[in-house]
Structure 1
Amino acid sequence: MGSFVVETILLIFLIVLVQKSESVGFAPELYCGLENCYDVLEINREEFDKQKLSKAYRALARKHHPDRVKSKEEKGLAEERFRVIATAYETLKDEEAKTNYDYYLDHPDQRFYNYYQYYRLRVAPKVDVRLVIVGTILVISLFQYLSAKHKFAEAIEYATGVGKFRNMAIKDGIDKGLLEMDRNGKLKKTKGVDNDAIIKQIIIDNLDVTGGYKKESLYETLAWHTIVFPVTICRYIKWNIQWYWRFSVQKEELDDEAKLYLIRRYLGVSQLEFDQRYEADIDNLFERECWIKENCLVWKAEKDAAEQEKMAQSGRYKRYKRYMKNAGTISFVDEE
């Protein structure tokens, strides 16, 4: 929005300038004013050589540098000349600016366009788009990583307060000799030992959290996915070619892995969501031959209807489904 406003103001400003400049030719406000930038640097346009441009500029800059004169009047003239020389150099050394200037020389009658190109280039920020893209990816990735870390910490705090997980952690700590019980069956308080910190660390080491609250990882960030994107594309293409060759050309029978893929695709869920929501239904999905699209859609409709009925009858079940969708599952690794 801000860029649009700036460009609108710029266009109005240019229209005013153009209306004031009725004659066709060099415009005092553009580039080297009423002089030809090539002539200022004593360069032949038809024989332009960028390698010689810096040499010509340095020679003229030394010759007309304001420090070489002492009187105020001569110094003022020298400063003006030095600015023109510097402007000519800046115009011709930049490829885009040189292209616009050459067009300006060849099409002096297109005054409005020449004004626009000149001021557009001056106003536009000199930022490498590649750096902007890389910076944006890094910022997003950092946010993803910190957000995942915060959510995992929330899951740990939740698990630490759940008696089931806390008791399992205490038992594991006692088995490993990290914790001790007194005669009354309570944790023994030993100087220099933080029982709560030990319990929390055991929970962190053993907790298996999936979904939106799983442990943070650099491999789940946009930066990593961007790096491995070419490999991912190649694998995707290879997998599709193999699938087409096996099941469309050679007419192979679908194996269990292929059937599960088709079922997941017809259900319209990711691999992670499929593992979380439908793991207990796999046998039934195979019995109903849900790798056939029509069968799968019928099964899904029945499943959705049953879930909606449960949700209507149980607020707790509704909260559970919302948690399953957003947070996944949380359990000890060795939990039965």
Structure 2
Amino acid sequence: MLVSERGVPILVLVAACVAGAHGFIDGLYCGRENCYEVLGVGRDTSKAEMARAYRQLARKHHPDMHKTQEAKSRATERFTLIATAYEILKDDESRKDYDDMLDNPEAVYRHYFRYYRKRMAPRVDVRIVLAVTITVISVVQYYGAWHRYRTAIDHLVTVPKYRLKAVEIARADGFYNPSRKRDRRRKEELKDEEESLLRKIIEEQVDIRGGYSRPSLRQVLWVQLVLLPVTLGHLAWWQARWLFKFTLGGQELGPVEKEYLIRRHMGLSQGQWDALEDRERQGFLRDQLWLKDKFKVWKQRQEEEMRAKLAESARYKSYRRYMKNHGPGQISFED
């Protein structure tokens, strides 16, 4: 190995200079041979002519065309080189990189980078990656929604209000009889059956809304993407209808339009709005909160009531006294 006066290896620099002298680099493309000369074509040869030349050379140098082991070995080596040259030159991008190496042999590191970037890059269709990603997200969405829904049902089973109501319904239907004799071996089994019965009744009787509502396939990303044209069309129709009917036509707003304006003023999604109790929504309609001025007055009143509740809270009073006497906490790095 060559070493400089300071002990730094200079073999790489010598290799770069040697490569730059003739434009070919060992380990890149066709090695020390010209890929065009390997196929017997020129740089301006079309793809069709190049494919024809490749087929002729492949038949001539195919290992099966030779009898002796030595001839087969030489033919295999040549056949591999011919196939490599054709793979490089039939692809527009790799052919462009190869021509750049022939024209600029001194840019060794750039040629190394381009060659190995193309070879190491995963040959996966972007559409497949996108489809798999959307599928994974959709599956996680769906099973996550089911997990939240079951968690909500399990919680409601423990709430006395809903549990007693479910027990009454089960007794009325003749499915619940805790006073019957139980075999010790079946005690746990009967308990599980009763819990499952109560859970099923609660699922049928209780309307859970919002983020813990019963999962729907329409909420899955794949379905939303498929229905996106329909959704955009409905949105365009809604905006056009609003423009001509209410903005230009001056007609009175209906209940749906009023709820839409109230929901928009409050910054609530459709799911959050549906999760509200009916009496709350009716109260908003009675207060005419679809009108911007009345909504501002209502919001200010709500903020004042919240401040009054906080002022009466013992914990909040304690917090205010602490802040008044000690101020905000500080972080020390002396320890």
The TM-score bracket by the shorter chain reads: 0.7 to 0.9
The CA distance in 2 between the partners of 1:111 and 1:224, in whole Å, is: 50
| Pick aligned residue for 1:170 from 167, 171, 175 | 167
Q: Which amino acid aligns with 2:301?
A: E
Shift of the alpha carbon at 1:240?
1.8
| Unaligned runs of at least 5 residues, structure 1 | 1-13, 316-336
**Greater CA drift, 108-117 or 14-23:** 14-23
CA separation of 1:135 and 1:187: change in aligned 2, threshold 3 A: farther
TM-score (norm 2): 0.72
Other structure's SS at 1:22 match: helix
Please tell me the root mean square deviation across aligned C-alpha atoms, in Å. Answer: 3.5
How many pairs were matched up? 295
Q: Which TM-score applies when normalising by structure 1?
A: 0.72
| 1:285 to 1:90, Cα distance in 2 relative to 1, 3 A | same
Give the alignment of 1:1-336 within 5 angstroms.
21-23=19-21, 25-43=23-41, 45-50=43-48, 53=51, 56-66=53-63, 68=66, 70-72=68-70, 74-104=71-101, 112-179=109-176, 181=177, 186-188=178-180, 194-277=193-276, 279-307=278-306, 309-310=308-309
Cα deviation digits, residues 45-99 of structure 1 (max 9, x gap): 545235972x644443343234535344x55543332221121222234343234
Match of residue 327 from structure 2: none
Higher relative contact order (CA 8 A, sep 6+): 1
Q: Distance in 2 between matches of 1:87 and 1:195?
A: 72
Structure of greater Rg: 2
Give the fraction of aligned pairs with identical amino acids, expressed as a percent. Answer: 37
Q: Contact 1:50 / 1:93 at 8 angstroms: preserved in 2?
A: no
Q: Which amino acid aligns with 2:84?
A: T
Q: CA deviation at 1:131?
A: 1.0
Farther off after superposition, 35-44 or 144-153 = 35-44
Gaps of 5+ in 2: 1-11, 315-335
Corresponding letter in the other structure for 2:226:
I
> Which residue identity lines up with residue 270 of structure 1 in the other structure?
S
